[in-house]
Structure 1
C-alpha cells in the first residue's frame, strides 16, 4: 500500500477558481491562421488593406519598394534580395520595409506583380490572332528583361493587381471579337502558360556556359548510331537552335491551330 502524502496543517486550499466548461467558448473563437502569402485569401486581405491605407506624402511606398527589389534582383540575382540588402539599396532602414511587406516571401510575390506591370497591353485590333501574338511577344519581352525573377512565376497563382489587369484586358478583347467565355478563358490561359514555360526554360538555358553546351553536343555525338540514329545524325542541330526561333515557331503553331468558337460547347 502506498502511503498518502502528509498534509501540512497550514496548507491552504487552492484559491485559483475552477475554469467553467463554457469559459473558453465565451472568450470567442481562436483567431484564424494567417493566409498563405500569394493565396487568394492573402490577396483579398492585401486589396482590402490597400483600400484603407493612404500613402504618406513623400514617404516609402510599396511601388518604390518593389521597383527597388526588381532592380536589385536584375543586378545581383535573387539570392541577394534580402530585406537588409534592399534597405541599403533604397537608402532606408530595412525595418521600415516591414510596414509594407511582412516577410521576404511577401516581397517576392509583390515584386513579381510589379514586373508584370511593365507589360504594355496591346489591342487585338481587327485580327485577334495578330493581337494575341503581339501580346505574347510583349509578355516575353518583359520576362526576358528580368530572368532572375522568372522562376518565381511558377511558385503560385498570379493574382496581383497587374496580373489581373492583363487578364481583364485579354479576356475583354477576346469576348469583343466574338469568342464565347469558356473558349476565351482556355485561349488566354494556354497562351499565357506557353509564354511562361518558354521563359522559364530560357532562364535556365541562359545559365549554361559555352563549355556545357559543347559537352552536350559531344554527348549527343557519342551516342551509338545503332540505338540513337536520329539523335546521332542531328546532334549539332539539336544543340544549336536559337530560343527565339523556338518561341516563334511554337507561338505561331499554337495560334494557327485555334479556331474561333462562338459557343460554350465548341472545341477550341
Structure 2
C-alpha cells in the first residue's frame, strides 16, 4: 500500500445534512484542499437524498436500529441517488474548488467485495476489503477519491452498504485513519454532555440504556469495529466546524474518540 507522506491516509465519511448544504460542503472541501501532508479519501452516504427520491417515486422508507431496509425494487433508485446524484455533486463541488476528484463506488477496481447481509434488511451488503490497487494508484497521483456506499455481490447484483461500514472497509484497505463526520459534535453520555473518549464497555451500557440510539448506534458500532481492526482510535466529530478538522488531526481533544478494546497479554 502506498503512503504519500509520513502520515497514513485519512478516510473521511460524510453524510446527512452536509450533503444538502452547499456552503458547508464547500467549506469542508476547502479545508481538505489545505491539507498537504496526508492523502485523503472521502466516503459518503446520502440518506436524505435517498429518502426524497424514494418518496417522489411513491416508496416509503423503513429503518431498523438506524440501518436502512432496502427492498430489491428500491435498489435502482438508491443506487442512482448515491452513486449518481450525490457522488457527482460532491465531485463537481470538489473540482470547482481546484481539487482533482474522482467519483467511485465500492466495487470499482475490485476494491471491495460484498455479501448479502443476514440482518433481514433486504438488498443490503456487508463489505469486505479486497484490493487497494486502484486507490493506491489514485492517491499516488494526488487524486481525491470520492466513494459512494454502493457495492455489488459476486453475481453482479448491486447492494446498498451502510456508509459508516463502507468507510471502515476503505480504512482497512489503506490502513488509514478514520474520521466520521456527523450532524452533531460527537457522542453524548448520560449527563447529556459530549464524551471525549468512548470504549466498548461504556458504549454497550449507553446503547442498552437507549442513550446511544438510532443512526448513532450504527455509527458507534462501526467505529468500534474499525478501532479494534486498525488498533487506533476513531474520531466522531461534527462537519459544522470544518476548521476544527485540522485541530483534530493535530491531536486536539475534539469530538469523541472511539477507543480500541485493550488487549491483555
Q: TM-score surpassing 0.5?
A: no
Output the TM-score relative to the length of structure 1. Answer: 0.26
Output the TM-score relative to the length of structure 2. Answer: 0.26
Give the number of the structure whose alpha-carbon radius of gyration is greater.
1
> Would you tell me which structure has more helix in proportion to its own residues?
1
